[in-house]
Amino acid sequence: MACRISELVLGCRDPEALARFWCEVLDFVVLDREDGEMVEIGPREGFGGAQPTIILSRRDEPEPGKSRLHIDVNATDRDQDDELERLLALGARPADIGQTGEEPWHVLADPEGNEFCLLKARLAAL
């Protein structure tokens, strides 16, 4: 048997604000909280399902160097352009990491600057 990803951990200054952002982006719900230090969000069916949960963990100071973790998202009920508009309205912003403009994805940053990509393919909702 192989391992699979069960959760992603993302350090941030304001776990509650990022939880609200990512819950809207992914249609997730808050699964757990710990005294303003951690918020776990995930699919409505909870931990252990087909999708990993995301743990947003308070980090007051950014860690040295660039984060090695980012999230890729795919729209499930609209095309990429419509989803891009929705994400920007939620508070995402374009991020420049040296892309040429020819890529079939968009590089964005969440409200705290954590980079993520909006991929082109539409995936079926689970």
**Which residue would you say has higher pLDDT here, 59 or 24?**
24
CB atoms within 10 A of CB 13: 14
* pLDDT greater at residue 110 or residue 4: 110
pLDDT, tens digit, 9 for 90 and up, residues 106-120: 999 999 998 899 988
Structure pTM?
0.77
Distance between CA atoms of 125 and 115, rounded to whole angstroms? 23
Q: Whose CA is closest to 59, among 15, 20, 116?
A: 15
Distance CA 108, CA 83 (A): 12
Residue 40 dihedral angles phi and psi, to the nearest 5°: -105, 130
Give per-residue pLDDT as tens, 41-85: 999 988 777 888 999 999 877 666 667 678 889 888 889 999 999
Confidence of residue 91 (pLDDT cuts 50, 70, 90): very high
Point out which residues pair with 93 in neighbouring strands: 109
What pLDDT does residue 125 have? Answer: 63
Q: Tell me the average pLDDT of the chain.
A: 87
Question: Residue 46 corresponds to which amino acid?
Answer: G
Tokens of 87: 């994400």
